[in-house]
Amino acid sequence: MLSFPAHLVAEYLPRLSSRASGDVALDPFCGTGTTLVEAKRLGFSAYGVEALPVPVLAARVKTDWDLSPDALEGVANEVLERVEEDRESAGLPGALPLFHQGKSSVPNWTPPQQILDLIPRGMISPLPLRRVLILRDHIESVRDPGVRSALQIALAAALVEDIGNVAFGPEVYTTRAKEDVLVCDVVRRKVRRMVQDLRSVAGAIHPRTTVLQGDSRDLALMPEKSGDIVITSPPYPNEKDYTRTTSATARSPTFCPRPRATSSRRRVTTTSSTSACWPLVRKWSRGRRDWRPPCAHRA
């Protein structure tokens, strides 16, 4: 599958659940949290394990339904207003040109060498990059960690879907360059959607969701009772270049990690394999004669 659809999780969880013992769902390769969100929506407690920090942050934001929508909206508006002030000071246009004006550039500004070393060539054009970095700096100054994380994910999603010159199909590839993008407008729409989602679940009691960062082969990560139902989309290293995909995500200017940190994460992803995840599943499967390792299974 090119993607891991939410409806698959929504279909299998109720079918695999006994509902009598307070079943806990587990996704040892949770990515950005598709399984965890559906489990929470259906009333299941859930654990997820993911090696890379950006998907971990996304999964935690998507399953943090206690975040105040009013706080997120208020802080986002304040941040975007300050970014607009800095945009004017930096001499960046407030509107997109009606006609093509050739190669874009930013007056009196050169991207930091750290950024140039990390971002794959052609991933983002100079004008959008300048706007992203201004917004990123303001987001990092937000004191509330929950709101700050939500804004970081809104920017990261906007970067991949609307700002950057990249697409997935199934590997990452460079698309036609966007000369400029009104980054604040794009992120404001993302935040508005987040606020709507948070308001739709506000006031209700939700089951606990835990997202752990680490290698899913390390059983010491997991509590003793952390999975009755295992639903996951395991990695297929011989069919999909995970290193290339995760490298492009991890090196986005939203987070701008250090090169050494990126290299260490690359070593974790390149040594992973599908068969290595099944000891984690077997931990909750001992004593069951009918055990088998499908992608959706009641342990």
pLDDT in tens, 167-204: 877 677 888 989 899 999 999 999 999 999 999 999 88
CATH 3.40.50.150 intervals, the chain: 6-64+206-235+272-298
The verdict on whether omega for the bond into residue 28 sits within 30 degrees of 0, i.e. cis, is: no
Structure confidence at residue 277 (pLDDT): 55
Condensed to tens digits (0 to 9), the pLDDT of residues 29-40 reads: 899 999 999 999
Condensed to tens digits (0 to 9), the pLDDT of residues 249-279 reads: 555 666 555 445 555 555 555 444 455 555 5
Structure confidence at residue 279 (pLDDT): 58
| pLDDT-based confidence at residue 74 (cuts at 50, 70, 90) | very high
How is domain 6-64+206-235+272-298 classified at the architecture level of CATH? 3-Layer(aba) Sandwich (3.40)
- Let me know: does 6 contact 238? Beta carbons within 8 Å: no
Structure confidence at residue 58 (pLDDT): 95
Condensed to tens digits (0 to 9), the pLDDT of residues 209-221 reads: 999 998 887 767 7
Averaged over 86-114, what is the pLDDT? 72
d(CA 167, CA 176): 10
Residue 49: its H or E element: strand 45-50
Quote the tokens at residue 185: 């407008």
